[in-house]
Structures are given as C-alpha cells and as structure tokens.
Chain A
C-alpha cells in the first residue's frame, strides 16, 4: 500500500528557516498536503499542492514538489516560537475527499530553539 515517510524531529533556531521533508511511494498521488498539529489540538490544514505543480508559496510557507523523486518539502521562513508543532505530510490519489482517506506520515516535531 501507500507509504509516507518523514523525519520525526527537526530543531531550528528562532528566525532561521525550517525545512520539513517528506517522501511518498504512491505514484498516482493527486494531492499532497501539509497539516499542523499544536499540542492538545486537532490537525489544521496548512497548505496543499496538486501533483502537476512544482512549487506553491503562501506567505512564509513554500511547498516544493519533486514528482520524479516523490519528494515533498515544506519551508517555513523566519521560524517563530508559534511554529512549534507537529507537521504531517499526507497524500491522496483522488480529489482529496475520496473513499479511502488520506495517507499520513508519522509527523515531524518542529522544535524551536531561542
């Protein structure tokens, strides 16, 4: 079945850029997502990218997709303490609301050092 892999932890200094990486195996992935989970809360959709795009930028967030290598990354510019959270990569091979749900990675804990 599909698999989504992420590193479990990333530590960065406040003000630096954070780059969270994700690899996936499903070559028919249509949409790829980044979710943010703050402590004690549910998952919040940060951004998503369609598989025919290479890049998407939204304020401090930049998503890069290398479809050939099945590699997705999320760059957070000027990382702040409020960015401390778990970031989940997810993929779907349909419109995103399909019958079999999203496949999630295990999440990357982003730790911000002062």
Chain B
C-alpha cells in the first residue's frame, strides 16, 4: 500500500549539476504528473504523462526533462541545475477517473 513513492526526500545540488528525481506508483494509474511548490505560488505543473509512452509540457517545463519509463515510473531530470529550481517537487498520479490525484510526500531540492 505504498501509493506514490518519491526519492530522494532531500537533495542539495551545486549550480550546473544534474540529477534525476524518481517517482513510482503501485496503483495501476494511467496518468502521472510532476509539480513544483514554491512559497506564495501554489503548485505549478512541470510535465505530465497521460499514459505510458506519452509526455507533455505543463506550465513551467523549462530546465526539466521527463521519462515515463513504464506505467509505474515517471522520472524528472534536471540537466543543469539553477538556483531558481530550488523548490519542493511533488509527483502525483491519477487513474483518470473521479477522485483526484494521489501525491507523493515530496522532494525538497536546494540548488546553491
């Protein structure tokens, strides 16, 4: 009964470093999402995947790439981290039906 699992929970990067945030869900959901949460900004959609094999840009995709590895996993990659990418990142999934999304517990990323 894990739901949506994100790793790592915390990360500090230097400007220019790269990293991949991992997300996996065990609910057989079709759709998966990456959001970032910043103070006073609410949640903003970075990328989403409506189904296995498809990905699309959200509101704030610049500086990020994603991979929908299989139905369970949806990763977010920062190729060259910038201080503006300091944020809390949430992965979510949805079955495509009623009930909204299930969120992971978040990854707190600091870029120095």
Chain A interfacial positions (CB closer than 8 Å to B) = 8, 31, 33, 35, 40-45, 48, 50, 88, 90, 95-102, 104-107
Interfacial chain A residues near B102, Cβ < 8 Å:
45
Alpha-carbon gap, A23 to B31, bound state (A): 26
Alpha-carbon gap, A110 to B103, bound state (A): 20
Alpha-carbon gap, A96 to B48, bound state (A): 13
Q: Are B100 and A101 in contact (CB under 8 A)?
A: no
Alpha-carbon gap, A101 to B91, bound state (A): 12
**B74 contacts partner chain A, Cβ-Cβ < 8 Å:** no
Q: Are B48 and A33 in contact (CB under 8 A)?
A: no
Task: Output the nearest chain B residue to A43 by Cβ-Cβ distance.
Answer: B103
Q: Are B42 and A98 in contact (CB under 8 A)?
A: no
12 intermolecular pairs with C-beta atoms under 8 Å apart: A31-B98, A31-B100, A41-B106, A42-B90, A96-B94, A96-B101, A97-B29, A97-B97, A97-B101, A101-B33, A104-B43, A107-B42
**B53 contacts partner chain A, Cβ-Cβ < 8 Å:** no
Interfacial chain A residues near B42, Cβ < 8 Å:
88, 104-107
Q: Are B103 and A88 in contact (CB under 8 A)?
A: no
Chain B interfacial positions (CB closer than 8 Å to A) = 4, 29-31, 33, 35, 40-43, 45, 48, 50, 56, 58, 90, 92, 94-106
Interfacial chain B residues near A42, Cβ < 8 Å:
4, 90, 103-106
Interfacial chain A residues near B103, Cβ < 8 Å:
35, 42-44
Task: Output the nearest chain B residue to A96 by Cβ-Cβ distance.
Answer: B100
Apart from A43-B90, A48-B98: 11 A-B pairs, beta carbons within 8 A: A40-B106, A42-B105, A42-B106, A90-B100, A97-B29, A97-B101, A98-B50, A101-B33, A101-B45, A102-B101, A106-B40
Interfacial chain A residues near B96, Cβ < 8 Å:
95-98
